[in-house]
Structure 1
Amino acid sequence: MSALGSRRLEKFLTVIAGVALFGLMIVTVAGAVARTVGSPISGSIELGTFWFMPIMVFAGICVAYSQREHIAADLIYVRMPRAIQREAVAVGSLLVWVFSLAACYFTFVEATEAMRVQRTSSSSWVPIWPLMFVAPVGLGLLCIQMAVDGLAVVRTGKTRKEGVA
C-alpha cells in the first residue's frame, strides 16, 4: 500500500467515523427530546449501540494505528538495549497481528451466521447483522496495515518508532 493510498484510506475512515459520530449525536438527541415529550423513538438506543458505535470504533482503531496515536506503554521498552528493542517490537507486533487476524476470522464467522439468521436486536426491530461485518473489515484493515509496516521493517531494518513510514 503506497503512502498516498494509506493517506486516502485514513482520510476515508476518518470521514466515515465522523459521519457515524454525527449520526449517533442526532439519534441520541432526537431520542432524548422524544422521551421528554412522551413518545420515545423505537430503536434509538439500538441504532446508536449496534450501528454507529461499531463504525466509530473500528474505523478509529485503523486511523489511530495509521497516525501512530494508539496507546504505547514504553516504560520497559525505553530501558532496553536497542537490539532487544527491535526484537521486542517484532515479537509484540507479531502477537498483536496474530490476535487481530484470529479476531478478524472469528468475527467474520459470527457475522456470516448472524446474516444467515437475519439477527435483530433482542429488544426492538433494529437489524444488527449488517453491522456485524464492520468488525472483521476493521480488523482486516488493521492486519493489512500491520503487515505493510512489518514488511517495511524487514526491508529497511527500522521499526515504526525509528521512523518507518
Structure 2
Amino acid sequence: MTGPERGASFSLLRLIDRLSAVFAYGAAAAVILLATSVFIDVVGRTLFSSPLTGTLEMTAYWWMPMLTLLAFGYTEQRQEHIKVTILLDALPLRMRQIVEGTFGLVATALVMALTYYAAVDALESAQVGQTTASSPPIAIWPFKFVAVVGLAMLSLQAAATAFRYFAGLLPDRQDAELDGDTL
C-alpha cells in the first residue's frame, strides 16, 4: 500500500472508530434514560400511587435495544467481545492475524445480512406504525431503526477489525503473548 492509500485507509479507520464512540455515547444515554424512567416509575408508584405509564414497554422496546445495539461497534473496536482463542493462541502471530481477519470478513458479511433484514423489518414496522398492545400504546417502530443503525455500525467496525488483522495491526505482539499466558 502506498503512502496516500495508507493514509486514506487509516483516515477511514479513524472515522469508523469515532462513529463507534459516538454510538457508545448513545448507548450510555439510553442507560441514563432507562434508569431515570425506572426511578420516576418507582417514586411515582411509591409516593403518589401513580406509576409512570409505559415504563415496562419503554424499557423493553426503547432503552434496552438502544443500550445494547449502539454499543456493539464500540465493543468490537476495543476487541472486548467474548471469544475463545485456545486454538488461535497456538498459531504463529501472522497466521493468527490471517485467520482472525478471515473470521472478521465472515462476521462482516453475516452482520450486513442481519442489517438488511432488520432494515426490511423496520420499514414494514414504520409503514404500519407498530405500537405495543398496552394501554396507552407505545410506539416501537422508530426504535427498530436503532437496530439497523447499530448493526450497520457493527458491520463497519467488523470490517475495520478484519482490515487491521490483515494489515498486521491486530493483535499487538505483546497482547498476543499475554493472551496465551492468561489462560
TM class by shorter chain equals 0.7 to 0.9
8 Å contact 1:62–1:138 — kept in the other structure?
yes
How many pairs does the alignment contain? Answer: 161
Q: Sort the Cα spacing of 1:86 and 1:66 in 2 relative to 1 into closer, same or farther, 3 A.
A: closer
C-alpha separation between the residues in 2 aligned to 1:11 and 1:159? 20
Counterpart residue number, 1:139 = 151
Match of 1:80 among 91, 105, 117: 91
1: CA distance between counterparts of 2:23 and 2:75?
10
1:161 counterpart SS class: coil
* Match in the other structure for 1:44: 55
| 1:22 aligned onto 2:22 | no
Output the CA distance in 1 between the equivalents of 2:14 and 2:169.
20
Aligned-pair CA distance for 1:132: 0.2
For the Cα contact (< 8 Å) 2:62–2:143, is it kept in 1? yes
**Is 1:95 equivalent to 2:106 in the alignment?**
yes
Q: Is the 8 A contact 1:89 1:159 kept in 2?
A: no
Q: Tell me: CA distance 1:60–1:46, structure 2 relative to 1, closer, same or farther (3 Å).
A: same
- Tell me whether 120-129 or 84-93 shows the greater mean CA deviation: 84-93
Partner Cα distance (1:159, 1:11) in 2: 20
2:132 maps to a residue whose letter is S
Amino acid at match of 1:42: T
Q: TM-score, normalised by structure 2?
A: 0.77
Deviation at 1:84, TM superposition (A): 4.3
Structure 1 length-normalised TM: 0.85
Q: Cα offset for 1:151?
A: 3.5
RMSD over aligned Cα, in angstroms? 2.1
Which has the higher mean CA deviation after the structures are superposed, 86-95 or 50-59? 86-95
Unaligned runs of at least 5 residues, structure 2:
1-9, 174-183
Partners of 2:102 and 2:162 within 8 A in 1: no
5+ residue gaps, structure 1, are: none
SS at match of 2:171: helix
What is the CA distance between 1:55 and its match in structure 2?
Answer: 1.3
The Cα of 1:127 is off from its aligned counterpart by: 0.1
* 1:87 Cα offset (Å): 4.1
CA apart distance, 1:82: 4.2
Which residue of the other structure, out of 160, 179, 182, is the alignment partner of 1:148? 160
- Aligned sequence identity (%): 26
